[in-house]
Amino acid sequence: MTAKCGFVAILGAPNAGKSTLLNRMAGVKLSIVSPKAQTTRFRVLGILMRDLANGDRAQLLLVDTPGIFKPKRRLDRAMVAAAWTGGEDADLSLLLVDARAGITDQVRDIATRLATSSGRLWLVLNKTDLVSPPTLLPLIKHLSDLAPFTETYMVSAQTGDGVDALLDALAATLPEGPFLYPEDDLTDLPDRLLAAEIVREQIFLQTHEEVPYACTVETESFTERPDGAVRIEATIYVSRPGHKAILIGAGGSRIKEIGAKARGHLGMLLERQVHLFLNVKERAGWDEEGARLRAIGLEDKG
């Protein structure tokens, strides 16, 4: 048996389905997903073992990245920088393109920049469940004019269609080398960060307009109790008093629902009972604050 191991970065425009694909490939939910753009804010690693037909074994280190867009806030700049770094550090990058949205300005900009980088690049069309097959070939042709993709795959991260074939091809193409993580590990994401992310996912699902973008979540305490349950306290920082009112909702109804859903999901992910306490604090300008960005693992680029 030969061991293979390498990093594969999933890059693309916001909402392309990168996190859905990571979760589908890892077979477990590691990265939060929402119908809104710019959901993912930092790199999320998925660790996956795959046996090849020839008896070789591969450890795929899949890196979900924030969507790439024109950043305005310091938070946005740090997110986009994290995405590009994910690509630069990888053995192979996948450009994931929403086949229904096609070649938007964002996709064009990303592909053009990837064309100037020296790393290996594959094209993956996603959301094939939403388009008719004859539209895919012209799309691939136009994308191939923008960057030198060495392989092309078509998948539906949602239904799982085509994902196995992509995984087999990825495992086969990884460089030979020892496994970098224990075989049973699923991610390097600490539970505290996972807890904050699951709360943020509910904010993305349950609030609208600018509110989800005006929030960040930090786990203040994470303690295991003697009965096996875990007690989690998290703070939601919001930019403005109006956001706080929306987040709390009439009579506290919204924050209660965010807490209830997040607690349920966390209970399943952590496989134990969760007691979750949420605190909402107004903090104008948190998205320009280095400490808030570092709290979610983003390097402070100033």
Q: Which residues bind ligand GTP (CB under 6 A)?
A: 12, 14-20, 33-35, 37-40, 66-67, 126-127, 129-130, 156-158
Give how far Cα 53 sits from Cα of 25, 61, 172, 284, Å.
Answer: 18, 19, 9, 55
Part of the chain binding Mg ion (CB under 5 A), chosen from 36-44, 123-131, 145-153, 264-272: 36-44
* Residue 78 contact partner, candidates Mg ion, ligand GTP, none, CB within 5 to 8 A by sort of partner: none
User: HEC profile for 48-86?
Assistant: EEEECCCCCEEEEEEEECCCCCCCCCHHHHHHHHHHHHH
- Cα–Cα distance, 143 to 145 (Å, whole number): 5
Binder of residue 292, out of ligand GTP, Mg ion, none (CB less than 5 to 8 A by kind): none
**Residue 54's Cα: distance from chain center in Å?**
32
In the chain, where do the E strands start and end? 3-12, 44-51, 57-64, 92-98, 120-126, 151-154, 215-224, 230-238, 274-282
Query: In the 3-class helix/strand/coil scheme, how is 239-254 assigned residue by residue?
Result: CCHHHHHHHHCHHHHH
**Total residues found in the chain within this entry:** 302
Q: Residues 6 or more apart from 277 whose CB is under 8 A from it?
A: 231, 232, 233, 234, 259
- Choice between 39 and 239, CB closer to Mg ion: 39
Our finding on whether 65 is near Mg ion (CB under 5 A) is no
Nearer to ligand GTP, 131 or 246 (CB): 131
6 or 12: CB nearest Mg ion: 12
Between 39 and 128, name the residue whose CB sits nearer to Mg ion.
39
Measured between alpha carbons, how far is 262 from 40 in angstroms, rounded to an integer?
17
Question: Which of ligand GTP, Mg ion, none lies near 87, with the C-beta cut-off 5 to 8 A by kind?
Answer: none
Which neighbouring-strand residues pair with 92? 8, 120
40-59 footprint of Mg ion as x/- string (CB under 5 A) = x-------------------
Task: Specify the stretch interacting with Mg ion by CB under 5 A; choose among 16-24, 177-185, 232-240, 262-270.
Answer: 16-24
CB of 46 to ligand GTP, least distance (A): 12
Residue 13 vs 171, nearer CB to ligand GTP: 13
* 157 binding partner (options Mg ion, ligand GTP, none; Cβ < 5 to 8 Å by kind): ligand GTP
Of 11 and 247, the one with the shorter C-beta distance to ligand GTP is 11
CB of 35 to ligand GTP, least distance (A): 4
| Residue nearest ligand GTP (C-beta atom) | 67
Contact 14, 33 (CB under 8 A): no
CB of 46 to Mg ion, least distance (A): 12
